[in-house]
Amino acid sequence: MIFDALIIGGGVSGLQCALVLGSAKDKPFFDQKKVGIIMHQKNSHLQNALFNNVLGLAPAKLGREILTEGKEHLEELYSEIQQIENEKVIAVKELADTYQIKTNKSTYISKIVVLALNYSKPFTIDGFEEYIIPHKKANPEKDRIQLLNNDHFIKKGLYCCGTIAGHRSQYAIAAGSGAAVATDILTLWNNNKHVKIHHKI
């Protein structure tokens, strides 16, 4: 199977990207699309996070709860999105019109790849060496990195979101970044007619 879009990373930005993509499942332009997310979450900064300043989250919400609940939310509402568990991506290689994503257990092919990872060193996925630059919005003493991009777009078929895209490590920013990438992908699938997904009562 060839994915139409494969998200690498199951933190805030990756999960939000997957949720927005999944919410378009009944749209004509989404028909037959194959979307997946590699849910490696061990390195997510959410594991040790406590939230008191996020609209919509109850005070003292734990990040590790969000990770668990996010996966359940995605499965319950948008089971069309394939969740790939317990695999770590080690390389991404550009092919003719697709990308080859190699993990420690398997190999996948996707037309679009979204990098939704944190900004910590070392960056261990081969294939992005030319795009790694110092993070523009992090304390230089922290020695964080980002991928060179233009509004989340790296090059054809390749996107990044969250802190690896150069955003600050703030929950709402990461979620918005993931949603932005999802709507860009949906717009692409909709023959470049702008898309936003809302549900009404």
pLDDT score at 45: 75
Roughly what angle, to the nearest 10 degrees, separates helices 12-22 and 171-189? Answer: 40
Task: For residue 39, give the nearest of 2, 62, 73 by alpha carbon.
Answer: 73
| Percent share of the chain, pLDDT over 70 | 98
Cα–Cα distance between 24 and 198 in angstroms, integer? 9
Q: Where are the beta strands (DSSP E) in the chain?
A: 2-3, 5-8, 35-38, 50-51, 61-62, 82-84, 89-94, 99-103, 107-110, 113-115, 132-134, 145-147, 153-155, 158-160
- Which structure tokens are listed for 56? 């919509």
Share of the chain above pLDDT 90, in %: 90
Give me 155's structure tokens.
């090059």
The strand pair at 61-62 and 82-84 is best described as unpaired
pLDDT tens digits, one per residue of 23-64:
999 999 999 999 999 997 566 778 889 999 999 999 999 989
User: Dmax of the chain from CA atoms?
Assistant: 48
- Residue 169's pLDDT band (boundaries 50, 70, 90)? very high
pTM: 0.96
| pLDDT at position 42 | 67
pLDDT tops 80 at residue 167: yes
- Please give the average per-residue pLDDT across 72-76, as a whole number: 97
* Residue 43: per-residue pLDDT: 64
144 and 132 Cβ atoms separated by less than 8 Å: no
81-123 residue pLDDT tens: 999 999 999 999 999 999 999 999 999 999 999 999 999 989 9
